[in-house]
A = this chain, B = another copy of it.
């Protein structure tokens, strides 16, 4: 039924071993033989059996990319950059690797199960992107899994995710704390003293770090924070809309709203507009990430640009062993404050 290596071998009048060597190309094969084999492959329309090959060679060409939410461009952009370096088919990398992105949806179980699935497939490398979940048991389970993967020879890279010490994983971490602080300091510098914060989901490291940066800025400037000024929600527009409304309800005198990310910020903008406030005249708004659409908001969003593409590409290269891991296997990637129209001095 299906064409096998042996069929090709028969047709080319060589042994299966030779065909295998031609296909893998790391063993001397005479040019004439190679050609004959290639011709047979072509004529028979032969397709290598991946599982069989992976089994025999004890390695596979699968590279997994775990993302929290594939519908979010934040992850889409990173995944795209990573995949671009993995080579995938057509990439500049020589070996053809199947870079696959797995969508965990932010669920701890799925995260773990995907890792197991990749472990099963004997993946060549795994890249985990975005914030981690802060739950001790889950984190322990993840670390154990990562360690096992690393031990089994799978290269593990964390991109935009906090380091996982002792697991053998290489981390490219975003400086969310620093970015958050810089952003809020910008607002404070403009004169704001009553700042609302629309945070992401409680249990995410990203959420906590950005919030900590924000609070550090407040503290550094002697601003006492009112607990009512923080609302947690999801990392999406809808959540930002609702949270901003809630913030306004709690303290109508806020002059600035800092959001956990750009999508949330856009939702907040909509809420402010719908409640009759002008941006930035009445209320300033700031986001985080600087996704492509942020510049198109009206007014354009003040935010912190994260080099998603660069970081992703680097993570991809490291995963492929084409770039040296950073010293200590940990690197911190900084964001850049982008001051735009959505932030201004408070009225008065």
Interface residues of A (CB under 8 A from B): 2, 45, 47-55, 60-61, 64, 69-73, 75-77, 79-80, 83-84, 88-90, 96, 98-103, 105, 107, 109-110, 112-114, 116-122, 148, 152, 236-237, 263, 266-267, 269-270, 273, 292-293, 295-298
* Closest residue on chain B to residue A45 by CB atoms: B148
Residues of the B chain whose Cβ atoms lie less than 8 Å from the Cβ of A51: 50-55, 60, 121-122
Residues of the B chain whose Cβ atoms lie less than 8 Å from the Cβ of A101: 70, 100-101, 103
Roughly how many angstroms separate A2 CA and B293 CA in the complex, as a whole number?
48
**Which of A90, A119, A236 gathers the greatest number of chain B CB atoms within 10 Å?**
A90
* Closest residue on chain B to residue A308 by CB atoms: B71
The 8 tightest CB contacts between A and B, nearest first, are A89-B113, A100-B100, A51-B54, A298-B298, A50-B120, A71-B80, A51-B51, A51-B55
User: Nearest-CB distance from A348 to chain B (Å)?
Assistant: 25
Q: List 20 A-B contacts (CB under 8 A).
A: A47-B116, A47-B119, A49-B55, A50-B122, A51-B53, A61-B117, A69-B80, A70-B101, A71-B80, A73-B73, A80-B105, A88-B102, A88-B110, A89-B110, A89-B112, A89-B113, A98-B117, A101-B103, A236-B292, A293-B293
Chain A's interface: helix, strand, loop or mixed, by majority? Answer: helix
Roughly how many angstroms separate A226 CA and B102 CA in the complex, as a whole number?
46
Roughly how many angstroms separate A266 CA and B88 CA in the complex, as a whole number?
31
User: Nearest-CB distance from A305 to chain B (Å)?
Assistant: 16
User: Nearest-CB distance from A265 to chain B (Å)?
Assistant: 10
Roughly how many angstroms separate A270 CA and B107 CA in the complex, as a whole number?
37
Q: A47-B120, A79-B103, A100-B102 are in contact. List 4 more A-B contacts (CB 8 A).
A: A49-B55, A80-B103, A89-B110, A237-B293
